[in-house]
Amino acid sequence: MWKIALTLAAVVTSAPLDNADYSSINTFALRLLDHTYAFQEAFGVKNIAISPLSIWSVFSLLAEGSSGDTFMELLNALQLPNDLAATQTLHLAARGIFKSTSRDLILKGQSVMLSDCSLEIHPEFCELANLYSTDIYTVDPRNTTKLAADINYWICLATEGRILNSVKPQDLENLRMVLVDALYFKANWKYPFDPTQTKEEAFYNSQGQVVGSVNMMYHKAPHNLADSPRIGAQVLEMTYGKDEEFSMLILVPFDGMPIKKLLNNLATQPMDWLEDFRLDDPPKVDCYVPRFKISSQSDMVTPLKYTGIHSIFDGQKAELPGVSTSPLFVSSAIQNVDLEVTEEGTVAAVATVVGLEDRILGPRIEVNKEFVFLIVDRRTNLIVFSGVYGDPTTV
């Protein structure tokens, strides 16, 4: 049984079909975030960032080449429609979000499939890959040093130089196929923060203990802010760009609630909370948000197994007859994400809040303890990136 490696890269520095229903993808996304944090936290890692959409995209492609238990596990875990045409429509709609480009916001996604030159890939699977804008190349997998260099160079270009050395030669031994998916997201805040207002402040865990310090940014600007008892968190939405097509949601757990409980709530509760807090005319909010940066490499195999996907990772049980005449299985799934949130704002912004207004009156949020964040497309609520920040550093 030959191996497939999946390498996923995504960068965040801080046009889909509007009528498509992405709730199934979001269900998978929030479950995967919950499982990824549980897996990483067991090794002492408390800052994670993933792109569930990137992972969903790659595995939904493989689902179309699978059969038997492998197909059923992917169908259930990825929340795919039972109808092939509906699955392809959903996949194409989701891929469409990677084409958002304006002066103050860039979101682009690129995918490539590298196969052993001696491996016979079914033409139908190649057509599927092309349908989802995945480039296909044949390579000599025996030269793992050159292959790793080529993959790293491709990822470097696709992520505007933000992610380097994503794979090592030893990661590619005995492989017949490599699937690489890269996302790049860069956006300016609709209402930027004034760097002169940033100052170092304490950061706490859910028990109220000081665990470090952060550079806390401040501004007063119109934002959606509400308590959500259903998930147990205060929800702040900060929009990106002039058109406000994307936003970052910061979810701060209620006092005494562990971050694990919040993640479990997100994974198990209905997602109508995504709409409940939005107002047509949001009030000005005193916002204290840490400047933070996360560079993470996550082994996604175990978290994906937690979602119910098992056989595709098993050399004896994987069923991917629609991909190749040779028996294949997925040996690794590594995702690299580089995410940075700073004060930078939109050049075309009408005004920059300098913090001269009263900081006491009116709505207020101070993000000074571990929190969950989501980056979403506001037109559809599709979750593009997600993560947890709980191990503070002053960046």
Determine the pLDDT at residue 42: 93
- Mind listing the domains of the chain with CATH numbers? 2-187+293-339 (3.30.497.10), 195-290+345-389 (2.30.39.10)
Q: Which residue has better confidence, 395 or 32?
A: 32
The 10s digit of each residue's pLDDT in 300-341 is: 989 999 999 999 988 889 999 999 888 888 888 888 888 888
In the three-class reduction of DSSP (H, G, I as helix; E, B as strand; rest coil), residue 195 is classed as: helix
> Residue 60 pLDDT more than 90?
yes
Smallest CA-to-CA distance from 1 within 334, 321, 335 is with 321
Q: Are 184 and 158 in contact (CB under 8 A)?
A: yes
What's the token pair of residue 36? 């990824």
Determine the pLDDT at residue 18: 53
Q: What are phi and psi of 214, to 5 degrees?
A: -135, 160
Q: What are phi and psi of 304, to 5 degrees?
A: -70, -35
Q: Is the pTM of this model over 0.75?
A: yes
Smallest CA-to-CA distance from 206 within 233, 237, 226, 225 is with 233
> What does DSSP say about strands 175-187 and 210-222: parallel, antiparallel, or unpaired?
unpaired
Determine the pLDDT at residue 360: 39
Q: Which residue has better confidence, 178 or 291?
A: 291
> Residue 225 pLDDT more than 70?
yes
Determine the pLDDT at residue 11: 60
What's the token pair of residue 50? 């993933």
> Residue 1 pLDDT more than 80?
no
DSSP state of 283: P
> What does DSSP say about strands 210-222 and 199-204: parallel, antiparallel, or unpaired?
antiparallel
Determine the pLDDT at residue 19: 66
The mean pLDDT value for 205-215 works out to 91
The 10s digit of each residue's pLDDT in 4-20 is: 555 656 665 544 445 67
347 pLDDT band, cuts 50/70/90, is very low
DSSP state of 231: T
The mean pLDDT value for 199-203 works out to 94
Determine the pLDDT at residue 9: 63
What angle, 0 to 180 degrees and rounded to 10, lies between the N-to-C axes of helices 23-41 and 259-268?
A: 150
The mean pLDDT value for 193-198 works out to 91
Percent of the chain with pLDDT over 90: 47
The mean pLDDT value for 100-120 works out to 81
What is the Rg, in whole angstroms, of the alpha carbon atoms belonging to the chain? 21
356 pLDDT band, cuts 50/70/90, is very low
What angle, 0 to 180 degrees and rounded to 10, lies between the N-to-C axes of helices 52-63 and 84-96?
A: 150
What's the token pair of residue 58? 């790659």
213 forms beta bridges with 202
Burial class (CB within 10 angstroms; exposed 0-12, middle 13-18, buried 19+) of 355: middle
Determine the pLDDT at residue 142: 85
Residues comprising the chain, all counted: 395
The mean pLDDT value for 151-176 works out to 84
> Residue 44 pLDDT more than 50?
yes
- d(CA 384, CA 300) in angstroms, rounded, equals 16
What are the residues whose beta carbons fall under 8 Å from the beta carbon of 185, sequence distance 6 or more?
10, 11, 12, 13, 106, 107, 375, 384, 385
What's the token pair of residue 195? 């760097």
What's the token pair of residue 290? 């840490």
Determine the pLDDT at residue 136: 86
What are the residues whose beta carbons fall under 8 Å from the beta carbon of 85, sequence distance 6 or more?
none
The mean pLDDT value for 203-218 works out to 92
In the three-class reduction of DSSP (H, G, I as helix; E, B as strand; rest coil), residue 103 is classed as: coil
What's the token pair of residue 184? 């790049």
The 10s digit of each residue's pLDDT in 76-100 is: 999 999 888 999 999 999 888 877 6
The mean pLDDT value for 55-67 works out to 92
